[in-house]
Chain A
Amino acid sequence: MSEVVSKVKRDYIVGLANQGKRADTRAFNQYREISVEKGLIESAHGSALVKMGNTQVLVGVKIERGEPFPDQPNSGVLIVNAELLPLASPSFEPGPPDENSIELARVVDRGIRESKAIDLDKLGITPGEEVWAVFVDIHVLDHDGNLIDASALSAIAALNNVSPPRIKDWTLPEFPLVKKPIAVTIAKIGDKLMVDPSLEEESVMDARLTITTIEDGSICAMQKGGIGFFTLEELEEAYALAREKAEELRRHVG
């Protein structure tokens, strides 16, 4: 998902990182400004627009009747999908989802699924026949880096925004969102680690690691990306950053 970057810019960003600095003057452990607007989309059962610096991701949640999986006949179904819209970046093209949008959707999916953030067992309707299907659609509107964190935050905010009365034939008192997993992506540039990489940082980074944690600090999902590597010490540092930042990001979910 990174883009072509000139050697001058690469040297500049890497050089800055070596001095402990970033091109946009942030500290290594500092996110860009974050805003979360919920309920913008009336046709969705829950929605959230997250802005992380110039990056914008809109997530809409739809809840419909669906068929259960045969191995879990009375559990609801979670489906996460991501679209990298051509309007969001000159490097995105129309067409079937590529590996970047698939990875994005699957990383967000694992954070929600593996933390059991939604109590899917409560979403059965008729055992073996009908259950509630929760569709989380990630719409990337403006790509200026760190789509994973913006999408994961937007997804959990949109799920937190679901208002049951608007769902036809819904009988539960509320939507069973029981945890708020937060994804924090750490970029490695040279031997420096920093959170929330901007687009230009992503285009020069060696590797990234996304760590998704829940309220008690335990880890529910991880994903390394990029062609570089991490040492054991770097993983420890990355976890400490993820834990610290997740608490901060969770406050935006509301």
Chain B
Amino acid sequence: MVEKPEKLLIDGKRLDGRSPDELRPLKIQAGVLKRADGSAYLELGKNRVLAAVYGPREMHPRHEQQPDTAVLRCRYNMAPFSVEERKRPGPDRRSVEISKVIREAIQPVVFLEMYPRSAIDVFVEILQADAGTRTAGITAASVALADAGIPLKDLIAAVSVGKIDDTIILDLNKEEDQWGTTDMPVAIMPRKKVITLLQMDGHFTPEEFKRALDLAFKGCEQIHELQKKALRDKYSIKVEEGQ
């Protein structure tokens, strides 16, 4: 969409037909890569995100080993073909920052102290981008960590909330991200109900900020259910009738 649409919200519905508090269709699958120790694939609207976990494994370079804890490393990367105009391969400033905030969003739930001197690597690959890739990446990465069998205190569910045409909305799509007023990615520990990632740009009054945060929690609850389902689908043992 090159031109800004006149309205992003018509009769209470968004341009893709959703109501303000509705997520895009979300699909999460655990354990999709053979070589990785843990992995997950996620689709959220047109986002296609793959997360892989390697480790705990030996830390290279060795001088970065920590004698009392594992080190969590994250790499967020966008495929050159993931966006409209080809993205130059390799890390840019945006992806360096996003890698950092993803790591900081996930680290609170990982029992790193159980694996001294080792590294746990989390790779988030954006195959197709449709706004909200960092939060989709966090959601997928925490499923991949669980799939890798790494002890976690909780999962991490993440979603973006924002403001379009003075209305607070859940899970911005690309048009809403581009033309809307505000974008606020949030990650939470769903059971403890605390915030591990919070970024925001745009404009919020304090009241709008509170409402947006409440909406983010509601969205994350739904995401959390699908994360658990993805893990159950892979790991529950199916008992045939009559056995």
Contacts and interface: CB of A to CB of B under 8 A. Distances in A.
Interface stretch (A32-40, A98-106, A139-147, A246-254): A98-106
Given A224-B197, A230-B194, A231-B195, A218 B93 contact: no
Contacts of B108: 227-229
B201 A110 contact: yes
B68 to A, nearest CB: 11
A224 B199 contact: yes
A221 interface: yes
Contacts of B101: 223-225
Contacts, number: 86
A226 interface: yes
A58 B226 CA distance: 48
Interface in B78-112: 93-94, 96-97, 99-101, 103-104, 107-108
Interface in B190-219: 192-206, 209-210, 213
A114 B198 contact: no
B184 to A, nearest CB: 7
A235 B104 contact: no
Can you list the 7 inter-chain pairs with the closest CB atoms, starting with the nearest? A222-B200, A229-B194, A224-B198, A227-B107, A114-B201, A99-B100, A219-B204
Given A219-B209, A220-B201, A229-B189, 20 more contacts: A97-B93, A99-B97, A102-B93, A103-B100, A106-B93, A106-B94, A110-B201, A114-B203, A115-B203, A209-B198, A218-B203, A219-B200, A220-B203, A221-B200, A221-B201, A224-B198, A226-B104, A227-B104, A230-B194, A235-B213
9 contacts: A114-B203, A217-B206, A220-B201, A224-B104, A224-B197, A225-B101, A228-B196, A230-B198, A239-B209
Interface of A: 71, 97, 99, 102-103, 105-106, 110, 113-115, 207, 209, 217-232, 235-236, 239, 243
